[in-house]
């Protein structure tokens, strides 16, 4: 098999080769964010940090990760008195969308968002070049609408995640016109129903800043979950 660099006509630069290692270093921070209250502002800050990590130099990145891990371990356990949910989907943006949960007294205690925790959920194995490492991670991913599975594990995975976090429901952040996510929704809803969990579907439309419909649905969801 010809070397990818020969086909490409150039060699990877250092930043690309660092991606697998930096992603694995970031995993503890992103995955541990579920240990703290993730309603509104704190969740938004965690999302921002996860994205910012991707643009940092390796040395600075590693130090920041160590600092964040230490800070997370030192935080007191927060006992949210209201409803708790798990988010799943491609993304849960803009920030104003996330703040709707706080307004309705709902805490986000975990996520399966492709743009957030799902990026780090599967460790990147060492198989050779950076490209081979990233390809290896892709083959090992489970419970993702963009990955082929003979039998989808996403529904059961979300139920287990919700039960472990003490969540009362699963919120599907359905990207508008995203077929693969729409295909998964019935299976997620059925798994949630069988487990006695509520399932709410919210459409994510990045072409508008109007979140009134989502706000009404979240508010109704909070009241029905009483």
Output 81 or 185, whichever has higher pLDDT: 185
pLDDT digits (tens, 9 = 90+) for 76-132: 777 788 899 999 999 988 888 888 998 999 999 889 998 888 877 888 888 888 888
**Quick one: CA dihedral 36, 40, 41, 47, positive or negative?**
positive
| Euclidean distance between CA atoms 130 and 138, whole angstroms | 13
Q: Percentage of the chain with pLDDT > 70?
A: 73
Mean pLDDT of the chain: 78
What span, in angstroms and rounded, lies between the C-alpha atoms of 100 and 216?
9
Burial (Cβ within 10 Å: 0-12, 13-18, ≥19) of residue 212: exposed
Mean pLDDT of 49-60: 63
What fold does the segment set 11-224 form as a domain? Rossmann fold (3.40.50)
- Cβ atoms within 10 Å, residue 114: 18
Q: Read off the pTM.
A: 0.75
The string of DSSP letters for 109-152 reads EEEEETTTTHHHHS-----SSHHHHHHHHHHH--S-TTS--SS-
pLDDT at residue 56 is higher than 80: no
Q: How far is CA 194 from CA 25, 164, 191, 198, in A?
A: 36, 16, 5, 10
3-state helix, strand, coil in the chain (%, to 5): 55, 15, 30
pLDDT confidence of residue 75: 73
Instruction: Map out the domains of the chain as residue ranges.
Output: 11-224
Query: DSSP character for 38?
Result: -
Asked whether 113 and 88 are in contact (CB, 8 A), the reply is: yes
């Amino acid at each position: 098999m010809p070397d990818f660099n020969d086909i490409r006509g150039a060699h990877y630069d250092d930043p690309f080769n660092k991606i697998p290692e930096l992603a694995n270093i970031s995993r503890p921070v992103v995955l541990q964010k579920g240990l703290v209250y993730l309603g509104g502002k704190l969740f938004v800050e965690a999302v921002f940090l996860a994205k910012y990590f991707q643009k940092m130099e390796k040395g600075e990145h590693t130090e920041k990760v160590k600092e964040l891990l230490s800070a997370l371990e030192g935080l007191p356990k927060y006992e949210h008195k209201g409803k708790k949910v798990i988010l799943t989907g491609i993304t849960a943006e803009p920030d104003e969308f996330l703040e709707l949960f706080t307004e309705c007294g709902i805490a986000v205690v975990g996520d399966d968002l492709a743009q957030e925790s799902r990026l780090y959920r599967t460790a990147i194995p060492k198989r050779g070049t950076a490209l081979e490492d990233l390809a290896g991670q892709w083959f090992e991913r489970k419970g993702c609408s963009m990955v082929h599975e003979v039998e989808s594990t996403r529904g059961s995975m979300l139920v287990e995640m919700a039960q472990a976090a003490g969540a009362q429901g699963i919120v599907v952040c359905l990207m508008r016109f995203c077929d693969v996510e729409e295909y998964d929704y019935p299976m997620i809803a059925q798994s949630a129903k069988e487990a006695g969990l509520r399932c709410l579907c919210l459409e994510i439309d990045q072409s508008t800043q109007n979140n009134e419909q989502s706000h009404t649905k979240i508010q109704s969801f909070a009241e029905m979950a009483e």
